[in-house]
């Protein structure tokens, strides 16, 4: 006979959103609750894997920066020592025509050749003049038009359009422009002109210009530590936390081990299309049908030797051209010295970067460093999985990140079906139906793919979506992060502390 559990609030998923919800539920202590996840290790899309050789690779390019004091408090409670963290100033570039252009590309055309600078600047001035004559009610129809209006035709042609296709795996003409906010730098034409005349590089831009990274365990180590602050009796991970079916009408969730969880309210961080399938709800499935996503392939490369001088203290690098399959490369070993084995560890060389076999198969000591690559995939942009690793290694040589004779001692390849929730033209209308439809059934679908809003899909946003979902359920509070992305993404507005939290576990 199936075991039945009764809780006021059930949370599905132990990624940042689910853990944010659980943290807030534990803090208030007002209702009974349970969090479940099919993975033994919490973290979701912010987890970290370890290769057999001891190299750590996140399941995507994650760093910690925050719009919320509450988020900071929770992380500092979980990892309280100064030695738990490294703080970095972002050093980021775009690979363009064999050179490195400081990020963001559109703010740094001063480093391009004279002819290209002139063409970009002419179009940028035209775009600025056109904007002055345009009615405020005249909104761009899509992301491509937004780019043309903000950076001009030439910059869109050589960078914005091709780079964003490599990231999103969908043409920019098929993306809306409501998500952009602080995600895309809109250049100041006057300042950019001054920088071009003075041959000056623009300063760091964006909320992640300074970021933190955990010393141990990669990004996933953060969420393991946060989960440890939760009461174990309120958590079910692995086989005992795997959801097989959601019965929204009866308010029951069926788990793989035979347990039935009866709930009053449900906070689901499952991808909303997966939730619809789990519910067997044909109407919701039809509503979600227009939602588009791309898949992400993460490739890790562990290398023997001292980190090359040309790599230096670079953090992550963007690639716009077709001489490599990846759109971003992260020098993952630069984030923490514990992201790779110690130099005393003896590892065999799998291959040289040029594809040749090593001179000797015998294990040798380090030191070691590593690169993490991301390759997007969709029906618009298919990927040859059989050759992906080899293609990426070849691309690292072609873009000068690896020398042909570099010794590769560890490799990692993992595909994530749901990688990026695409802000497609149809997205807003679909969400305007799907989220209220679920809320009418006492289900709050939240998180990177639960709410399908990339503009509030970072770790801090996702965590706070969970926190604010609980506040909405318990006190009717407004969910600022979900419903007002532009507000929370303005740093002066986003720095806020929720009442009743002093950093102590309750």
Cβ distance 367 to 343 under 8 Å? yes
Q: Tell me, what DSSP letter sits at residue 406?
A: P
**Arithmetic mean of pLDDT, 243-272:** 98
- Reported as type and span, the H/E element at residue 29 is none
The pLDDT assigned to 492 comes to: 44
Q: Tell me, what DSSP letter sits at residue 160?
A: I
Pairing of strands 85-89, 56-58: unpaired
Q: Do domains 4-51+59-83+212-292+423-494 and 293-421 have the same CATH topology?
A: no
Residue given tokens 């914005």 in the structure block: 160
**Arithmetic mean of pLDDT, 88-113:** 90
Quickly name the fold that domain 293-421 has: Polyamine Oxidase; Chain A, domain 2 (3.90.660)
The three-state secondary structure class of 59 is coil
Cβ distance 36 to 254 under 8 Å? no
Tokens representing 85 are 């963290």
Q: How far is CA 172 from CA 253, 262, 374, 451, in A?
A: 39, 44, 19, 21
Those residues whose C-beta lies under 8 Å from the C-beta of residue 501, and which sit 6 or more positions away, are 27, 70, 73
The pLDDT assigned to 1 comes to: 52
CA 412, CA 420: separation in Å to the nearest integer?
Answer: 20
Cβ distance 341 to 368 under 8 Å? yes
Q: How far is CA 134 from the centre of its chain?
A: 34
**Arithmetic mean of pLDDT, 328-347:** 97
Tokens representing 445 are 């679908």
**What DSSP line would sit under 42-54, residue for residue?**
S-GGG-EEE-TTS
CA 222, CA 241: separation in Å to the nearest integer?
Answer: 21
Count CA atoms closer than 13 A to 52's CA, side-chain side.
Answer: 7
**Arithmetic mean of pLDDT, 65-76:** 90
Q: Is the pLDDT of residue 93 over 60?
A: yes
Q: Is the pLDDT of residue 504 over 80?
A: no
Cβ distance 137 to 146 under 8 Å? no
The pLDDT assigned to 44 comes to: 95
- Per-residue HEC secondary structure of 414-460 comes to EEEEEEEECCECCHHHHHHHHHHHHHCCCEEECCCCCCCCHHHCCHH
**pLDDT grade for 490, boundaries at 50, 70 and 90:** confident
Count CA atoms closer than 13 A to 351's CA, side-chain side.
Answer: 12
What superfamily does domain 4-51+59-83+212-292+423-494 belong to in CATH?
FAD/NAD(P)-binding domain (3.50.50.60)
Tokens representing 317 are 């690098």
The pLDDT assigned to 393 comes to: 98
Q: What is the domain partition of the chain in residue ranges?
A: 4-51+59-83+212-292+423-494, 105-198, 293-421
Number of H helices, E strands in the chain: 15, 19
Q: Is the pTM of this model over 0.85?
A: yes
The three-state secondary structure class of 199 is coil
CA 138, CA 372: separation in Å to the nearest integer?
Answer: 41
The pLDDT assigned to 137 comes to: 87
Interior CA angle at 45 toward 473 and 92, to 5°?
115
- Helix pair angle (218-228, 69-78), 10° resolution: 90
- Reported as type and span, the H/E element at residue 52 is none
Count CA atoms closer than 13 A to 496's CA, side-chain side.
Answer: 15
Neighbours of 498 (CB within 10 A): 17
Q: How far is CA 179 from the centre of its chain?
A: 15
Count CA atoms closer than 13 A to 161's CA, side-chain side.
Answer: 16
User: What integer best gives the mean pLDDT of the chain?
Assistant: 92
Tokens representing 82 are 């100064």
Cβ distance 460 to 65 under 8 Å? yes
Which residues is 298 bridged to in the sheet? 374, 414
**Arithmetic mean of pLDDT, 261-265:** 98
**pLDDT grade for 194, boundaries at 50, 70 and 90:** confident
**pLDDT grade for 36, boundaries at 50, 70 and 90:** very high
Range with the poorest average pLDDT among 151-160, 170-179, 336-345, 484-493: 484-493
**Arithmetic mean of pLDDT, 87-106:** 90
Q: Is the pLDDT of residue 205 over 70?
A: no
Cβ distance 417 to 207 under 8 Å? no
Q: Is 312 exposed, middle or buried (0-12, 13-18, 19+ CB in 10 A)?
A: exposed
Q: What is the dihedral of CA 107, 297, 75, 30, to 10 degrees?
A: 120
The pLDDT assigned to 495 comes to: 45
- Spatial CA neighbour of 108 closest among 2, 223, 191, 225: 191
């Amino acid at each position: 006979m199936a075991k039945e559990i009764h809780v006021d609030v059930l949370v599905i998923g132990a990624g940042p959103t689910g853990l944010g919800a659980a943290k807030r539920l534990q803090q208030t202590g007002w209702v009974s609750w349970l969090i479940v996840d099919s993975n033994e290790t919490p973290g979701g899309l912010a987890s970290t894997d370890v290769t057999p050789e001891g190299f750590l690779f996140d399941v995507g390019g994650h760093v910690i920066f925050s719009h919320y004091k509450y988020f900071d408090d929770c992380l500092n409670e979980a990892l309280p020592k100064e030695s738990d963290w490294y703080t970095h100033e972002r050093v980021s570039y775009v690979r363009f025509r064999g050179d490195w252009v400081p990020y963001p590309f559109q703010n740094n055309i001063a480093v391009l050749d004279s002819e290209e600078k002139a063409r970009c600047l002419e179009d940028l001035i035209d775009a600025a003049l056109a904007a002055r004559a345009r009615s405020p009610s005249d909104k761009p129809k899509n992301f491509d038009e937004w780019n043309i209006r903000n950076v001009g035709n030439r910059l869109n042609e050589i960078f914005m359009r091709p780079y964003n296709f490599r990231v999103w795996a969908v043409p920019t003409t098929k993306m809306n422009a409501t998500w952009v906010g602080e995600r895309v730098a809109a250049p100041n034409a006057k300042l950019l002109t001054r920088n071009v005349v003075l041959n000056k590089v623009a300063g760091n831009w964006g909320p992640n210009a300074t970021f933190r990274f955990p010393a141990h365990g990669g990004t996933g180590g953060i969420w393991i530590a946060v989960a440890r602050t939760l009461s174990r009796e309120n958590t079910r991970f692995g086989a005992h936390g795997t959801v097989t079916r959601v019965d929204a009408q009866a308010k029951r969730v069926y788990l793989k081990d035979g347990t039935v969880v009866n709930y009053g309210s449900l906070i689901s961080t499952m991808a909303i299309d997966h939730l619809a399938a789990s519910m067997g709800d044909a109407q919701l499935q039809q509503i979600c049908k227009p939602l588009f996503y791309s898949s992400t392939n993460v490739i890790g490369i562990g290398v023997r030797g001292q980190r090359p001088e040309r790599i230096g203290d670079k953090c992550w690098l963007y690639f716009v051209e077709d001489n490599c399959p990846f759109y971003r490369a992260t020098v993952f070993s630069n984030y923490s010295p514990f992201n790779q084995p110690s130099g005393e560890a003896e590892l065999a060389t799998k291959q040289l970067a040029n594809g040749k076999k090593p001179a000797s198969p015998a294990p040798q000591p380090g030191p070691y460093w590593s690169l993490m690559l991301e390759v997007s995939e969709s029906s618009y942009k298919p990927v040859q999985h059989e050759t992906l690793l080899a293609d990426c290694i070849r691309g690292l040589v072609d873009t000068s990140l690896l020398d042909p004779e570099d010794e590769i001692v560890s490799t990692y390849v993992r595909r994530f079906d749901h990688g990026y929730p695409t802000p497609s033209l149809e997205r807003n209308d679909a969400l305007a139906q799907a989220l209220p439809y679920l809320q009418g059934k006492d289900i709050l679908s939240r998180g990177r793919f639960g709410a399908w809003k990339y503009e509030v899909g970072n770790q801090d946003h996702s965590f706070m979506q969970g926190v604010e979902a609980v506040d909405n359920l318990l006190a009717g509070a407004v969910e600022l992060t979900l419903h007002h992305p532009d507000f929370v993404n303005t740093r002066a507005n986003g720095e806020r502390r929720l009442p009743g939290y002093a950093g102590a576990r309750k």
